Amino acid sequence: MSLLCASPSSSHNLVVIPPATTRRRLTVNHSIRPRLRMSLDNNNNNNSNINSSSLLSSVTNLLWGRSLPPELLVTTVRTAWNSMWHVMMSQLAPSDPTGGYSRPASKFRFSGPPPPNGLHLYVGLPCPWAHRTLIVRALKGLEDAVPVSVASPGNDGSWEFKRVGVNTGRVITPSLDKANGCKTLKEVYRLRSGGYDGRSTVPMLWNKDSKDVICNESYDIIQIFNSGLNGLACNPELDLSPPQLKDKIEEWYQVIYPNVNNGVYRCGFAQSQEAYDRAVNELFSTLDDLENHLSNSRYLCGDKLTLVDICLFTTLIRFDIAYNILFKCTKKKLYEYTNLHAYMRDIYQIPKVADTCNFQEIMDGYYKTLFPLNPGSIRPIMPSTSEHEILYRPHGRESLSSSSKTVFVK
């Protein structure tokens, strides 16, 4: 993708003049200028430390003197930023002709029983798709049968294994690559015979014996974990996709995947107002429907937790800390949906689920890595309503199940 591709959609910005209110604000805000100048002067005194910002400030000083006219500053930066933003977004988040986000299909799909030995799971903690696989792995008791390596997002947004998280309890933290000793996930993908040059995404299920990718689609991996490894699972009798509910699960998935799971990304990665409006309306009208449905159904398919609940949960748990803010899913906070919030707490309180939710890593992953959406990389404070203590408050949903204790289909 070249710069030329981005310029037509952003060319109108070349003549944009900041609105009067912005102009006024910039004009009266003289107080920051001396400080800015001071730090630039300091830079200039230190010849060995010339960096691009001091070079830029020297050029602006030369052209306009010490006070760069705010209108010029805003117009220039806005034009440049808008063009670069469109280039970045079209590369990082492929879109349809209307500017709507179109998620690339997963390259390695799999169904059927996997090899019983040599399995290894690669995940990243911010990722909602990878989170699904961690939850099903935990509920099925597959921790020993399927060891996991936890990648962290690197500065360029790709996955790396350069950091071991501080373990402050039972919550899962980043790790090194325990299967292949690679520094990046891209290297792992490239180890497969035949190589690989596509997107190196998590989750990814790896075969250590044949050194190959088995699958990198979360929806397939959770089915494999649910029913394909019962010989190795500590909890083989748990069935999160029983035959009598398969159709219902699939029906719900067709609703929540486009509108909620991928829907939040369609809001955040929209490249036009029209695409954003469509996505955000579909998202919130689906959340309204879910709120209604969950008023008299403990889980999506009735009394029992199923795979589709786990798929919904990993989006809901990120909603108020990431999507509501960063992806502009702003019509309501999840906390405002009484039934959806209680449903989320119900799932969070299932033994082992909370250990898969690392909120610090989730927030860092979204706010520090998705550079085009948050160029300053400032991470907002965690909303108090998303704290562990709040999520552990009674959810009161047992009464919606015919047998209050059994949440699992056995």
Ligand X SMILES: N[C@@H](CCC(=O)N[C@@H](CS)C(=O)NCC(=O)O)C(=O)O
- Hey, which residues are catalytic here? 127, 265
Which residue from 200, 306, 339, 369 is in contact with ligand X, where contact means CB under 6 A?
200
> CA neighbours within 13 Å on the CB side: how many for 32?
7
- How many amino acids of this chain bind ligand X (CB under 6 A)? 11
Q: Which residues of 42-183 form beta strands (DSSP E)?
A: 119-124, 148-153, 159-160
- 127 near ligand X, judged by CB under 6 A: yes
Cβ closest to ligand X, residue 127 vs residue 400: 127
User: According to CB under 6 A, which residues from 60 to 119 bind ligand X?
Assistant: 106
Residue 352: partners with Cβ closer than 8 Å, 6 or more residues away = 138, 139
DSSP code for 177? -
Q: Return d(Cα 85, Cα 66) in angstroms, integer.
A: 28
- Segment interacting with ligand X, rule: CB under 6 A, options 74-82, 109-117, 197-205, 275-283: 197-205
What 3-state DSSP class applies to 179? Answer: coil
Is 123 one of the binding residues for ligand X (CB under 6 A)? Answer: no
Candidates 19-27, 49-57, 194-202, 323-331 — which segment interacts with ligand X by CB under 6 A? 194-202
Cα separations (Å) of 205 from 12, 115, 116, 404? 46, 11, 12, 35
Q: Under the criterion CB under 6 A, does residue 199 sit at the interface with ligand X?
A: yes
From the CB of 196, what's the least distance to ligand X, in Å? Answer: 12
Distance of CA 245 to CAs 30, 206, 241, 249, 274, Å?
A: 65, 29, 6, 6, 37
Residues 211-230, one symbol each (x = binds ligand X by CB under 6 A, - = not), give: ------xx------------
Of the listed pieces 69-77, 163-171, 193-201, 270-278, which binds ligand X according to CB under 6 A?
A: 193-201
* Contact window for ligand X (CB under 6 A) among 83-91, 195-203, 324-332, 387-395: 195-203
Among 99, 114, 174, 203, binds ligand X (CB under 6 A): 203
Quick one: CA dihedral 225, 230, 231, 237, positive or negative? positive
